[in-house]
Amino acid sequence: MTNTEKERQKAITTAGNPAKPTGEAGQQMLARMNESHAALTAWGLSHFQWHGNEKVLDIGCGGGANLHRMSTHITAGHLTGIDYSPTSVQTSCQTNAADIAAGKMTVCEGSVEALPFADSTFDKITTVESFYFWPDPPENLKEVRRVLKPGGTFLLIAEIYSHDGLSAEVQENIEHYHLYNPTPETFETIFHRAGFPSVQVHIEKDHRWICVEGR
């Protein structure tokens, strides 16, 4: 990527607001993220064992690519996406129009602070590249635990977390966007405190991605 293109993408990201995508720039950013997060998402989701009849929730569904990918594993279940950005909800609906029309999927606007679902609703819950922006991540994890069924699994999938290999650009973004950026050990601690008795931290060795699995 040329420096000019990097600057253009950076301008789109700034205007689109990755914390809460808005407007045309937000839509462009979400389209780019649908592509750029594909490999990360595929790796993270590989930690699920699928049966086909699960009720699945994706928190911070963004452009809807993660929902679309998980839909291929669901035959008799249902998928729900939630995002507090109206632009993200609109884009996710466009990405998954066929599944929504078929009644296989629902996308709604809402916040992880107060998930609009009953206790023990979902078999599987995911969040991809959104945890950094949650208003109070350790506390919000309790909401995730509340809506997860006994025996269910939550996967938190992310590129950025606190380790010694972060680039200067990533560190700048962490500071600029006030990203919550725990170490793997802290992830394990806050998951346990939120009520997940079993926690595994997976690190992808080539890209150093992280997937925190709470059961």
State pLDDT tens for residues 57-88. 999 999 999 999 999 999 999 999 999 999 99
Q: Does residue 60 sit within a domain?
A: yes
> How much is the pTM?
0.86
CATH number of the domain enclosing 113 = 3.40.50.150
**Predicted pLDDT at 164:** 81
Distance between CA atoms of residues 132 and 130, nearest Å: 5
pLDDT, tens only, 120-155: 999 999 999 999 889 999 999 999 999 999 999 999
Q: Does residue 101 sit within a domain?
A: yes
Distance between CA atoms of residues 15 and 13, nearest Å: 6
Q: Does residue 26 sit within a domain?
A: no
Distance between CA atoms of residues 39 and 41, nearest Å: 5
**Amino acid residing at 56:** V
Q: Which residue has the tokens 């939550």?
A: 154
At 10, the pLDDT band (50, 70, 90 cuts) reads: low
Distance between CA atoms of residues 46 and 50, nearest Å: 10
Local structure of 105: helix, strand or coil: strand
Q: Does residue 9 sit within a domain?
A: no
Greatest Cα pair distance, the chain, in angstroms, is: 50
Structural tokens at position 2:
């040329």
Could you list the beta-strand ranges (E) of 131-198: 148-158
Q: Does residue 177 sit within a domain?
A: yes
Q: Does residue 27 sit within a domain?
A: no
Q: Residue range 187-210: average pLDDT?
A: 96
User: Which segments of 1-85 does DSSP mark as H helices, in order?
Assistant: 3-16, 23-36, 38-45, 65-71
Beta-carbon contacts of 62 under 8 Å, excluding residues fewer than 6 positions away, are: 21, 30, 33, 34, 83, 88, 91, 92, 128, 129, 130
How distant, in Å, are the alpha carbons of 44, 125, 142, 169, 201 from that of 213?
Answer: 9, 10, 15, 27, 6
For a pLDDT cut of 90, what percent of the chain falls above it? 70
Q: Does residue 25 sit within a domain?
A: no
State which residues form the domain around 66: 33-214
**Predicted pLDDT at 140:** 97
Q: Does residue 92 sit within a domain?
A: yes
Number of domains in the chain: 1
